[in-house]
Structure 1
Amino acid sequence: MPTYRDEAVVLRTHKLGEADRIVTLLSRRHGKIRAVAKGVRRTSSKFGSRLEPFMVVDAQLYEGRSLDIVNQAESLATYGADIVLHYDRFTAANAMVEAADRLGDSEATAQQYLLLVGGLRALARGEHGSRAILDSYLLRAMSLSGWAPGLEHCARCAQEGPHQTFVAQLGGMVCDNCAPVGSARVPAGTTSMLEALIRGDWTAIESAAPNDQTRASGLIAAYTQWHLERSIRSLAHVEA
């Protein structure tokens, strides 16, 4: 069988039989991969602990008909070891890898891989608040997939802003003429928070009012799940 090698993040795993696992990976060059890791649940496995969620590995795989087979795995970054020690980091990381998995094969690019690795590294090191890292990741991941929310102009008619209404179904901020009846108004501070999260302006993010951070998180969750057309179940466990 043909073999290949790639860097990859472990997104999730499932038990298979008595000793094997099915591993879902987001790789740098081959997109999303589903592969069988044989014997990794045995205590004698040489690389079972390296194929846990949030780990970054250099993996060698065999190509299979429906599932590839992991032959070797060397650790590149053990972010999972630090993430699982903190509930807020753990729940945020779960939401990130679930979103990466939900994005689909067509969006599994090298840029998405690097973005996820950067987010997990920031979580493992506790560089910023876990919810803010998650929110920034979700907005950037959606932007890389062509679903960047419109914030400066009306997402429907392109009228120049600033505008005061955010509608996930319409693609972001919308003007008064395009806003559906009864749409909730978004304070200017919340809009600024969304813009800072996309830019990765951590000075502005960390100085934002708590209410603006909370409102931005709710809008991002609604926007992401609307465009993915499915829920991210892990978001229910993420602390505000």
Structure 2
Amino acid sequence: MSNRSFASRTYRDEGVILRTHKLGEADRIIILLTKRHGQVRAVAKGVRRTSSKFGAMLEPFMVTDLQLVKGRNLDIVTQAQMLGPYGRDIAADYRKYTSAAVICETAEKLTDIDGESTSAHYALVIGALSALSRNVHAPELILDSYLLRALATAGWAPSFTDCARCGEPGPHSAFSAPLGGAVCHGCRPPGSASPAPATMTLLAALLSADWPAADSSVTGARNEAAGLVAAYLQWHLERSLKSLKHVERV
């Protein structure tokens, strides 16, 4: 292979490690969400050896500046430089770890592998992992805020005030995931949830990143909101997340 051909296939980007799995005796396949190239699947050769210079940089929840070479099935990581070592603090705490696992699994499901721009979603993931590592808010609040905002970025923004179906001004006392959130009495389908007003207030705060309101919420509202977020997520993804069942709610 000529140097010119190699150079034409080389690119650089920053990315967050969503997931990894072993390949052979020393290699690792990594699934990345990058800032400019969307979701990327790549192989990092030799990173499982103790002598590897950048093995620790290519663990889940780490943010890394990478040089890669395009391959037929998998790209190849040739250089790595740490940008955000969030995985170190997250891995040391079970609540943080499980929340981060859900964030990364959701990001993998919501982003494409075709190189389309995912800069908005990338920023959400980085912000959530950074907040988890720094103990800025309760892990479960960071998780639910990320999930709602990620779904909104994907085009499925829920309503927690006006009726999601007819637009009648709220607040309303019913919630329907299939209809898009809050629903009025006239639009409410059978079996709709009837969350407490404090829960709907918290959901709206999480969606808009109103952290003073979210941080002051009570445990009951947080647990009820988590159930509604999970239902809304599952409806739009059309599947459940494996990692979500491991999240502990206070």
Both structures adopt the same fold (TM-score exceeding 0.5):
yes
Shift in Å at residue 183 of structure 1? 2.2
Counterpart code for 1:102: K
Of 24, 35, 40, which residue of structure 1 is paired with 2:42? 35
Residue of structure 2 equivalent to 1:165? 174
Is 1:95 the counterpart of 2:99? The answer is no
- 1:180-226 per-residue CA deviation (whole Å, 9 max, x = no partner) reads 22323121111100011011111111111211111111101110121
Q: TM-score, normalised by structure 1?
A: 0.97
| Structure 2 gap segments, 5+ residues each | 1-5
Partner of 1:232: 241
- 5 Å-filtered alignment, 1:211-222, equals 211-222=220-231
Letter in 2 for 1:156: R
Could you tell me which residue of structure 2 aligns to residue 7 of structure 1? Answer: 14
Match of 1:86 in 2: 93
Give 1:52's aligned residue: 59
Q: Which stretches in structure 1 are left out of the alignment for 5+ residues?
A: none
- Tell me the distance in 1 between the aligned counterparts of 2:201 and 2:160: 9
Contact 2:145–2:207 at 8 Å: present in 1 too? yes
Cα offset, 1:157, TM superposition: 2.0
Give the alignment of 1:61-80 within 5 angstroms. Answer: 61-80=68-87
Counterpart residue type for residue 110 of structure 2:
L
1:87 Cα deviation from its structure 2 partner: 0.7
Offset, 1:175: 1.3
**Separation in 2 of the partners of 1:181 and 1:229?**
21
Query: How far apart are the structure 2 equivalents of 1:46 and 1:108?
Result: 30
- Matches of 1:50 and 1:185, distance apart in 2: 45
Taking the TM superposition and a 5 Å limit, the aligned residue runs for 1:176-215 are 176-215=185-224
Residue 130 of structure 2 is aligned to residue 130 of structure 1: no
Percentage of identical aligned residues: 56
Aligned length: 240
TM-score (normalised: structure 2): 0.93
Q: 1:236 and 1:68 mapped to 2: Cα distance? A: 32
Aligned-pair Cα RMSD in Å: 1.3
Q: In 1, Cα distance between the equivalents of 2:239 and 2:25?
A: 31
